[in-house]
Structure 1
Amino acid sequence: MRDFHFPGRSAVHAVNAMAASSHPLATEAALHVLRDGGSAMDAAIAGSAVMAVVEPQMTGIGGDCFALVAPAGHGAVVAFNGSGRAPAAATPEALAAEGLDAIAIDSVHSVTLPGAIDGWFRLHARFGRLDMARLLAPAIAQARDGYPVHARVAADWRRATGHLARRDATRAAFLPGGRAPAEGDLHRQPALARTLETIARQGPGGFYGGAVAAAMTRTLRTHGGLHTEEDFHGVAGDFVAPLSTGYRGRTVHQVPPNNQGLTALMMLNLLERFDVAALRPGSAARLHLEIETARLAYAMRDRHIAEAGAMQVDPQEILSKDLAATLAARLSPDTAMTDVEPLGLRTSDTVYMTVVDRDGCAVSFINSIFDSFGSGILCPETGVLFQNRGHSFTLDPSHPNVLAPGKRPMHTIMPGMVTEDGRPVLSFGVMGGDYQPIGQARVISALWDHGMGLQEALDMARVFPQDDAVEIERSVTPDAARGLADRGHTLRVATDPLGGAQAILVDHARGILTGASDPRKDGHAAGY
């Protein structure tokens, strides 16, 4: 229960429909769609399109999307993979000929084909009600007429100044007057508005073909990319069966590989081996268990996860409860493990949106360009800023996640869904690149191990194991930090807050929706 002596925010409750996102303008757009009779998917698309304009450091139509959908509040959860692929000419040999042994995070070779627009339309065709032009109208207006830059967006933008200044078109669009916009400044993206208008009129063909695709291809080729117009023509997302595991009597669903959602399920399998409820939330003992189970799960991720057809291990083997028991036996409550392989973990940038409509349909929807302002490569004619998801590929030919023509890279953005008795009880997501699996696992554990409220679960101080240290937020208590150090963890205070999150709980017995939004972002939850 919230202590009203301290600053914070309350969870939001409603009976008809609800939306939660990382940006106020996106939540507002989604709520208007819901009030106009739109479906949860309509609202998620409208809100995500707005975020593709007003959070350009996090997302855009040059990126990818994933979704989990519980149709009408019952039945099988549906997963959608809207991640793009490498160009048909992209091979380790082609990059080696350029003297490359890795894909730099700001290289044109990090640009995979953008899957978001195709994903929006495929999801809309199956779950939408309102016309797509109606759904894109708020985003078009924001791009054309301008939007006020919010606080978290401004802070991220300022830190990316050097990245944005490297290329002329990007500098012109995102450093107007030679500087990053400050909080409250109005920013416009007229070229992006025109592209969104084309998409609203012509559908995905107006993006993946014609003048828009030709312009995007020219830009990428000018920067040395291997992309072709045929690559854009061939973009197509997939409806897939989700992966799931049980946790404390509920079922947790994730999009399967190439998505990293399997990592969160592995963590939950490990946590389920322990009496987590007996540990005080935020204590050194509780955080230590979270850190150690995460290290084991991430090591498995880095060894095995790739595009489904390239994986050398069946995901169901990784989700085996027997494997979880074997791995859990390596953990000590008092000492950090010393035999876990190094983890190259880092945070990056993403937005997330969750919506539940009046019919009970729950949508967990995530859209991203990966790192801050993606590759930093902007197509000036179209206003499309390209993602850099290809940085996740390796060039090691023995690894399942090695770059190959038309292949999807291991992908960090992961929507989450929890069901009970076949009905959705939690639609949620946690942002922050590699942080997302540990973030999702801790939210689920906070709710069903510790009985915390939804907003409280999102507010909790966070930790994140990396190569040489465990990053901790400043809100981790001194006692907890000392306890972690005593267990052998090297600690480093995180420069930026770790991730972000949005969530909606569905209380079927009471007929209530409860929404929460992470204070580490600008957004909020709202319902009616």
Structure 2
Amino acid sequence: MQRLLLLALIGVATGASGADRITGAPFATRSEVFAPHAMAATSHPLATQIALQTMRDGGSAVDAAIAANAALGLMEPTGNGIGGDLFAIVWDPTTRKLHGYNGSGRSPKALTMQHFRDLGLADIPPHGPLPVSVPGAVDGWFALHGRFGKRTMAQNLAPAIRYARDGHPVHETIAYYWNLSVPRLAKWPGFTEQFTIDGRAPRTGEVWKNPNLAKTLETIANGGRDAFYTGTIARTIDAYFRANDGFLRYEDLAAHRGEWVEPVSTNYRGYDVWELPPNGQGIAALQMLNILEGYDLKGYGFGSVEHMHLMTEAKKLAFADRARWYADPAFQDVNIGKLISKPYAESRRALISMDTALKEVQPATPQELEQGDTIYLTTADDDGMMVSLIQSNYRGMGSGMAPPGLGFILQDRGEMFVLKDGHPNSYAPGKRPFQTIIPAFVTKDGRPWLSFGVMGGAMQPQGHVQILVNLIDFGMNLQEAGDAPRMHHDGSTEPTGQNTAMSDGGVLEIESGFPHDSVRALMRRGHVVKFADGPYGGYQAIARDPATGVYAGASESRKDGQAAGY
């Protein structure tokens, strides 16, 4: 990880605003990428090239996103794969509107809350058979393709199949996280045989092949979504979990359907920011932006104590509601419109002191709401279609459960349920767990302006807000906005696990590059601050110039990714 250390050292040298020490401009590891016809930004250069070639060959931005996602499941199994879930936002230039897709799967119907109690568990374990829920990614591919695809699914999956069969060299960051995953997951059946080389992770630059995944993708390419959910793949998954104390069944897979959903938005200083509604956490970003809109962040300046303090306090307030209200809407009725409204934000803003950090935060009451590691990629084509897509196995390589001969690992998203009666996110059979993965989109004056995302657990809404504030308030360009140092507040009340309430204000983790005077001032206001490597997510973005139609792309330095166009 020498590259990451170098970037950290560069960050130390950049001073008060993350500025370049030679030019004085905001720090960036590279220039923005510009292209007139199409653009792709993913966390892996080969996946970016696959997306571009797909569009060169006549595919839409959706075709390109599917092709890239399939390749990333092979090339970056530390973050995603067809054993996981998928969410997407698509700008359709024909209808001139945004379309959202929630491709999250549900818990097994045969697994009950009583089983966890019989095992004496307070939380659902992170690995093994118990946290596994139905994978929704493949269904999501076909739903998106059915509405917006131009090429066949066989054509879209062909590059990933070829790389899986012939091999590809593993990139540095992926090799690093793969090596961390192997000791945790090696005991689960099928993992070592299919995801190691003689019991170890592949090394940086080493060629990796996954012939089992090649066969699985070929089966899907030839047989469609039903080949995965009702065919031999589903039968293999069923038999595997029956043999290994699991509960995921053929019937769960056969019953799965994702759903088209309406994105929701708030206006931040003239820009309409769009997220998907729960069971994801996207509206936390909208709540944070509404709170922050009441402050002159531009006047305070990037890296000022006021900037860092207000970001942290807004996050605490939004995450208190996230812990209480965000869950599967089929099981939890909540007034999203009220949560993301300006009057509600004003009432929450009144709880912030400019001099003292909040130690405890309560969520909205029912009366207040009455009516009155993941991969992220984005693509854009010559017709003006833009796709914001995020896909994940949840914890790195997921549950570790790898059915024989299939070449993929099932997600462990079910770990996010709460084993407590009466909580909105309490476990129930056939229920979708709380989701961290969120794509984002921004329009201005009814036209597409930005497709972007920041992968990485609870960092995601925090990252969305930091990117937008960098762009809108601090005037950074697309690349600078992603490379600027970030903050990550940890310790808020969570919607998962034992749901312990924050009582000590949590911890603010920061990257190198923020002024030491600001850090000291934060401590004087009561924040617990520490420097940390790693929890800041990974950003990709495509912006569109409304006057010329030219695309700009960015892929940040914390991942192995690439933005490219033609």
TM-score of the aligned structures, taking structure 1 as reference length: 0.96
In the alignment, residue 414 of structure 1 is paired with which amino acid?
A: I
Which of 462, 470, 477 is the aligned partner of 1:453?
A: 477
Between the aligned partners of 1:52 and 1:280, the Cα distance in structure 2 is 40
Contact 1:164 1:175 in 2 (8 A): no
User: CA separation in 1, counterparts of 2:287 and 2:157?
Assistant: 37
1:340-392 Cα deviation digits (max 9, x unpaired): 269xxxxxx21011111101111101111011110111112211200011111
Alpha-carbon distance in structure 2 between the residues aligned to 1:11 and 1:148: 26
Match 2:138 to one of 117, 120, 125: 117
Corresponding residue to 2:525 among 474, 487, 493: 487
Q: Is the 8 A contact 1:2 1:456 kept in 2?
A: no
Residue of structure 2 in register with 1:107 after alignment:
128
> What letter corresponds to residue 512 of structure 1 in structure 2?
V
- Which deviates more, 128-137 or 158-167? 158-167
State which of 235, 240, 243 in structure 1 corresponds to 2:261: 240
Matched AA of 1:89: A
Secondary structure, counterpart of 2:420 in structure 1? coil
1:440: Cα distance to partner? 0.3
- 2:516 corresponds in structure 1 to 478
- Residue by residue, what CA displacement relative to the aligned partner does 1:162-206 show, whole Å, maximum 9, x if unpaired? 113222421222221222211101111111111000000000111
Residues 74/272 of structure 1: CA separation in 2 closer, same or farther (3 Å cut): farther
Structure 2-normalised TM-score? 0.90
2:381 pairs, out of 345, 357, 374, with: 357
Q: Deviations over 1:268-320 (max 9, x none)?
A: 11111111111211222211111110111111101110011222421112112
1:31 aligns with 2:69: no
Greater shift, 378-387 or 429-438, is seen at 378-387
SS of the counterpart of 1:176?
coil
Structure 1 gaps of 5+ residues are: 343-348
> Per-residue deviation at 1:509?
1.1
Match of 1:58 among 73, 79, 93: 79
The CA distance in 2 between the partners of 1:373 and 1:475, in whole Å, is 31
CA distance in 2, matches of 1:169, 1:312: 40
Q: 2:415 aligns with which of 380, 387, 391?
A: 391
Give the Å deviation of 1:488: 1.3
Cα deviation digits, residues 448-473 of structure 1 (max 9, x gap): 11111110000111111112421112
Residue by residue over 1:369-417, the C-alpha shift from the partner in whole angstroms, topping out at 9 and shown as x without a partner, is 0111101111122112000111111121111111112111110100000
Identity rate, percent? 46
Equivalent position of 1:331 in the other structure: 352
2:310 to 279, 284, 289: 289
Tell me the residue number matched to 1:346: none
SS in 2 for 1:177: coil
User: Structure 2: which 5+ residue stretches go unaligned?
Assistant: 1-17, 364-372, 492-505
What amino acid maps onto 1:203 in structure 2?
G
- For 1:341 and 1:186, the matched residues in 2 are separated by 51
Contact kept, 8 Å, 2:456 with 2:535, in 1: the verdict is: no
Choose the corresponding residue for 2:437, options 410, 413, 427. Answer: 413
Q: Distance in 2 between matches of 1:479 and 1:350?
A: 34
The equivalent position to 1:162 in structure 2, one of 179, 183, 189, is 183
Distance 1:313 1:131 in 2: 39
Question: Which one-letter code corresponds to 1:513 in the other structure?
Answer: Y
Q: From 549, 555, 559, give the equivalent of 1:511.
A: 549
Is the Cα–Cα contact under 8 Å of residues 73 and 362 in structure 1 kept in the other structure?
A: no
Aligned in 2, Cα 1:286/1:312: closer, same or farther, shift over 3 Å? same
**TM-aligned CA deviation for residue 143 of structure 1:** 1.2
Partner residue, 2:221? 200
Name 2:453's counterpart in structure 1: 429
Contact 1:74 1:424 in 2 (8 A): no
Deviation at 1:210, TM superposition (A): 2.1
Contact kept, 8 Å, 1:60 with 1:369, in 2: the verdict is yes
**Alignment partners' CA distance in 2, 1:86 and 1:174:** 25
Q: Partner of 1:523 in structure 2?
A: 561
- Give secondary structure in 2 for the equivalent of 1:109: coil
The aligned amino acid for 2:203 is A
Moved more, 472-481 or 179-188: 472-481
Preserved CA contact (<8 Å) 2:28 2:483 = no
Q: Measure, in 2, the Cα distance between the counterparts of 1:274 and 1:381.
A: 55
State the distance in 2 between where 1:152 and 1:29 align: 20
Rounded to whole Å, the distance in 2 between the matches of 1:248 and 1:264 is 14
Deviates more, 1:442-451 or 1:24-33: 442-451
- 1:146 shift after superposition: 1.2
3-state DSSP of counterpart to 2:130 = helix
> In structure 2, how many angstroms separate the alpha carbons of the residues matched to 1:370 and 1:175?
20
Give the structure 1 partner of residue 102 of structure 2.
Answer: 81
Which residue identity does 2:388 align to in structure 1? S
User: Within 2, Cα distance between the matches of 1:283 and 1:186?
Assistant: 45
Hey, what's the Cα distance between the residues in 2 that align with 1:4 and 1:77? 41
Q: Is the 8 A contact 2:28 2:484 kept in 1?
A: no
Q: CA shift at 1:11, angstroms?
A: 0.6
Moved over 4 A (4+): 1-7
**Partner SS, residue 260 of structure 2:** strand
Residue 208 (structure 2) pairs with residue 191 (structure 1): no
Equivalent residue for 2:294?
A: 273
- AA at the equivalent of 2:546: H
1:18 matches 2:39: yes
In the alignment, does 2:330 pair up with 1:309?
Answer: yes
Q: CA deviation at 1:221?
A: 2.3
Q: Which residue of 1 aligns with 2:487?
A: 463
**C-alpha distance in 2 between matches for 1:7 and 1:123:** 34
Give the paired residue count.
522
Give the secondary structure class of the aligned counterpart of 2:267. Answer: strand
1:125-148 superposed Cα distances (whole Å, 9 cap, x missing partner):
000000111100111112111111
How far off its partner does 1:520 sit?
Answer: 0.3
Corresponding position of 1:46: 67
- The answer to whether the Cα contact below 8 Å between 2:134 and 2:253 also exists between their aligned partners in 1 is yes
Deviations 1:79-123 (A, max 9, x none): 000001111122212322333232111131211100000110010
What amino acid is aligned across from residue 16 of structure 1 in structure 2? H
SS at match of 1:417: strand
